[in-house]
Structure 1
Amino acid sequence: MCGIEDSVPDNYYCAVRKDLIDLVPPGFKSVLEIGCGDGNNADYLREKGAIYIAGIELSSKHGKAAKNKMDDVFIGSVEGELPGWLLNTKFDLLICGDVIEHLNNPWKTLIALRNLMSPSGYLLASIPNVRHYSVIKDLVFKGKFHYVSSGLLDRTHLRFFTKSEIVELFENSGYRTVSWSHSEMPKRDSLISRMSFGLLDGFLVYQYYVLAQKRQSR
């Protein structure tokens, strides 16, 4: 997770994202996780067949922890100057779990990440949905857009996206979307989604999951 280390709860860096990784077709061998936190996805990635796992982590504390679990870790910003070993490697899978919203220029970064992908590689991302009803409710009825330590209005978020903005982000950065998914809804929201035939999903989805590949030039 790329964020400001002293302004987020420590468990921010510890999640194992099976919900994301399970969306990727089998066969990937090399993985780069941007915002790898403590490196806790490494074991599950190896279970799925990964042989080489590298990470990028902004937090020095958590990046050092990740070095005990991953093959290579660069401690620094994905938006900064990357080391040669990283630039010279092609990855079958790039993971951006809750990262893109923390970037100063996600468009430029996604374009740069294309150069790190193998020809048939995937980029997997999870991105919060600012159109979620909890944000709209407070904004419209209470006049509040209140930042918190984690969640949709995490105070370290620099960019905010709805589904249409995510589509535009990936299209303008040279990707084609392979599949869409989203975080699991609470039972009440899932019922509303079914009753509305998905028409209200834009207000019910908390976080979108995107699996994409490089768009090939014609």
Structure 2
Amino acid sequence: MIIAIDGPAASGKGTISKKLAQHFALPHMDTGLLYRAVGYAMRDDLDRPDWEKLAIEKAQSLELSHYHEDDLTTAEAGVAASKVARVPEVRTALREVQIAFAQQEDGAILDGRDIGTRICPDADVKLYITADAETRAERRTKQLNARGVDVTFDEILAQIEKRDADDKDNPAGAFYVAPDAHLLDTTKLSIEAAFQAALELVNDVLAQEKSTS
């Protein structure tokens, strides 16, 4: 079984994906970390005239285990990720990694921005997790402050709004909602309520598929 979960930053898709993976005993990949790793590796080189060539090289030789997740989930890494994700060759290199992960014998759960449209268009279940920008900024600000990162709500909101705009305008196709995806708005939901709502959607889809098979 393959479950594809898409949505913008801080929508709750990562937490929901991890909980679903635990519930169904499936391997999970946060594909955004791949782009964040390339962006983080490029953080001091994005102003170079040959930055795209360097980003492609980083993507093609990426070893995610070489990076600490705390570094990859910073606002800086997120902004850099949205820039490197606009390079088609970067997306091609990372796409191969994601597809190979999804093709495991028992399936997998992947979350990102184009899982249901580009990476796993034939996924058994597709969810699109969203929330309004203010709620997402509040969540991310609290998350970073809890780690000791000194950021403000206004700063994070501006970064999230820019990231959303960059992703939606990405010519490489980074931010599309699959037409058969099930929408879940987590703006007013707690973590547990959001997970339960997602689990209900997944079980409903699986039940429908079983009844028609």
For this structure pair, what is the TM-score category when the shorter chain's length is used for normalisation?
0.3 to 0.5
Q: TM-score, normalised by structure 1?
A: 0.35
Compare the two structures and name the one with the higher strand fraction.
1
Compare the two structures and name the one with the higher helix fraction.
2
Q: Which has the higher contact order (CA 8 A, sep 6+)?
A: 2
